Amino acid sequence: MGGFIFTIASWTVSYGAAVPSDQALIAHVLRRTGFGPYPGQVETAAESGVEATLEAVLTAAPPADPGPELSPWPPADVEEFEQQREADMHTLMGWWIERMLAPEAGLAEKMVWFWHGHFTSSAGKVEVPQFLWAQQQLFRTFALGNFRDLAQAITIDPAMLVYLDGGLSSGQDPNENYAREVMELYTLGQGNYTEEDVRAGAKSLAGWQIDEARLEAWFEPAMATTETVTFLGRTGRFGSSDIIDMVCDNEALPPWISAKLYRYFVGAEPTPDRLTSLAAGFRASDLELAPLVEEILRDPAFLESRMTRPKYPIEWVNSAMAALGSLQVEPLGPEDEVETDENDPEGADDPESDEDAAGGEETDEPEPRWAPAMWAYETLSQTPFFPPNVAGWPEGDRWNSAPLMTSKSMLALEFPALEGDLDPRDGGVVAAALRRASMYEMSDETVASLNQAAGSIAYPEERTNLVRRLVLLTPEFNLA
Amino acid sequence: MTTDDALPERTMNTPQGPAAAPNRVARRRFLRYLGLGAASAGAGAVIWKAWPDSDPPSTADDDNAGATTAAPVDQRLLVVIEMPGGNDGLSTLVPYGTGAYYDRRPSQSVAANEVLAIDDNVGLHPSLIKLADRDLAILQGVGTSEPDLSHFVMFNRWWTGDPAGDQNYTTGFLGRLCDELDAGAVATGVSLGFTPHPTMDAAKATTMALAEPDALWYLTEEEEYLKSYRSGLAALSSTDVPGGDPGPADSVRLGLADSLAFGQVVANLPEPADTYPETELGYQLALAGRLLAAEVGIRIIHVPMGGDFDTHTNHRDRHDGLMTELDGALDAFLGDLQVRGLDDKVLVATTSEFGRRLDENDGGLDHGTGSVAILAGPVTSGLHGEAPSLTELDETANIVATTTMEDYYATLAEGWFDISATDVLAGTPTPVPGMI
CB contact at 8 A, A412 and A313: no
Chain A: residue nearest B191 by CA? Answer: A403
For B140, list phi and psi in degrees, rounded to 5: -90, 155
Mention every residue, 6+ apart, whose C-beta is less than 8 A from residue A138: A115, A150, A153, A154, A157
Contact B236 A398 (CB under 8 A): no
Question: Cα(B178)–Cα(B182) distance, rounded to whole angstroms?
Answer: 6
Mention every residue, 6+ apart, whose C-beta is less than 8 A from residue B380: B67, B137, B434, B435, B436
% of chain A beyond a pLDDT of 70: 89
Chain B: residue nearest A267 by CA? Answer: B248
Within 8 A of A392 by CB-CB distance, chain B residues are none
Within 8 A of B217 by CB-CB distance, chain A residues are 345-346
Q: What is the pLDDT of residue A292?
A: 98
Contact A125 B152 (CB under 8 A): yes
Q: Sign (positive/negative) of CA torsion B328, B333, B338, B339?
A: positive
Q: What is the pLDDT of residue A197?
A: 97
ipTM of the predicted assembly exceeds 0.90: no
Res. B412: pLDDT tops 70: yes
Contact A406 B263 (CB under 8 A): yes
Chain A: residue nearest B222 by CA? Answer: A345
Within 8 A of A122 by CB-CB distance, chain B residues are 152
Which element (helix H / strand E) includes A291?
helix A289-298
pLDDT tens digits for range B267-324: 999 999 999 999 999 999 999 999 999 999 999 999 999 999 999 999 999 999 999 9
Mention every residue, 6+ apart, whose C-beta is less than 8 A from residue B86: B151, B309, B310, B311, B352, B353, B354, B355, B356, B367, B368, B371
Judged by DSSP in three states, B347 sits in: strand
pLDDT band at A142 (very low <50, low <70, confident <90, very high): very high
Mean pLDDT of chain B: 85
**Nearest-CB residue to B168 (from A391, A469, A479):** A391
* Min Cα–Cα distance to chain B from A391, Å: 6
Pairs of CB atoms within 8 A across A/B:
142
pLDDT tens digits for range A403-419: 999 999 999 999 999 98
**Nearest-CB residue to A402 (from B166, B235, B255):** B255
CB contact at 8 A, A442 and A475: no
Within 8 A of B229 by CB-CB distance, chain A residues are 413, 466, 469-470
Which element (helix H / strand E) includes B373?
strand B371-376
Question: Cα(B286)–Cα(B187) distance, rounded to whole angstroms?
Answer: 18
Other Cβ atoms within 10 Å of A271 Cβ, number: 11
CA quadruple A226, A229, A233, A238: dihedral, nearest 10: -10
DSSP string for residues in B117-137? ESSSS-EE-TTTTTGGGS-EE
**HSE-up of residue B1 (Cα within 13 Å, Cβ side):** 11
**Nearest-CB residue to A466 (from B195, B196, B228):** B228
Q: What is the pLDDT of residue B52?
A: 22
Question: Cα(A235)–Cα(B358) distance, rounded to whole angstroms?
Answer: 46
Other Cβ atoms within 10 Å of B60 Cβ, number: 6
Helices (H), A206-252: 240-249
Contact B232 A381 (CB under 8 A): no
**Average pLDDT for residues B49-72, to the nearest whole number?**
45
Judged by DSSP in three states, A6 sits in: coil
Interface with B, mutate which of A306, A405, A468 (most B CBs under 10 A):
A405
* Min Cα–Cα distance to chain A from B98, Å: 36
Q: What is the pLDDT of residue B30?
A: 40
Contact A397 B258 (CB under 8 A): no
Contact A462 B231 (CB under 8 A): no
Chain B: residue nearest A305 by CA? Answer: B248
Res. B344: pLDDT tops 60: yes
Within 8 A of A346 by CB-CB distance, chain B residues are 217, 221
Question: Cα(B132)–Cα(B94) distance, rounded to whole angstroms?
Answer: 14
* Min Cα–Cα distance to chain B from A101, Å: 22
Within 8 A of B228 by CB-CB distance, chain A residues are 453, 456-457, 466
For chain A, report the end-to-end CA distance as a whole number of angstroms. 23
Q: What is the pLDDT of residue B6?
A: 38
User: What is the pTM assigned to this prediction?
Assistant: 0.85
CB contact at 8 A, B30 and B118: yes
Chain B: residue nearest A346 by CA? Answer: B217
- Burial, B168: exposed, middle or buried (Cβ in 10 Å; 0-12, 13-18, 19+)? middle
What secondary structure letter does DSSP report for B64? T
pLDDT band at A458 (very low <50, low <70, confident <90, very high): confident
**Average pLDDT for residues B16-23, to the nearest whole number?**
30
**Average pLDDT for residues A180-185, to the nearest whole number?**
94
CA quadruple B49, B55, B56, B58: dihedral, nearest 10: -170
Contact B232 A404 (CB under 8 A): no
Q: What is the pLDDT of residue B413?
A: 98
Chain A: residue nearest B225 by CA? Answer: A343
Contact B221 A345 (CB under 8 A): yes
Q: Sign (positive/negative) of CA torsion A48, A50, A52, A54?
A: positive
CB contact at 8 A, B358 and B83: no
- Report which of residues A287 and B214 the model is more confident about: A287
Mean pLDDT of chain A: 89
Within 8 A of A398 by CB-CB distance, chain B residues are 170, 201
pLDDT band at A363 (very low <50, low <70, confident <90, very high): low
pLDDT tens digits for range A67-84: 999 999 888 888 888 889
Within 8 A of A310 by CB-CB distance, chain B residues are 248, 251-252
* Min Cα–Cα distance to chain B from A389, Å: 7
Question: Cα(A403)–Cα(B178) distance, rounded to whole angstroms?
Answer: 14
Res. B36: pLDDT tops 50: no
Contact A381 B252 (CB under 8 A): no
**Average pLDDT for residues A46-52, to the nearest whole number?**
97
CB contact at 8 A, B413 and B424: yes
- Report which of residues A424 and A214 the model is more confident about: A214
**Nearest-CB residue to B228 (from A397, A400, A457):** A457
Res. A189: pLDDT tops 60: yes
Chain A: residue nearest B215 by CA? Answer: A410
Of B404, B420, B361, the residue nearest B105 (C-alpha): B361
**Average pLDDT for residues B132-147, to the nearest whole number?**
93
pLDDT band at B147 (very low <50, low <70, confident <90, very high): confident
Chain B: residue nearest A461 by CA? Answer: B225
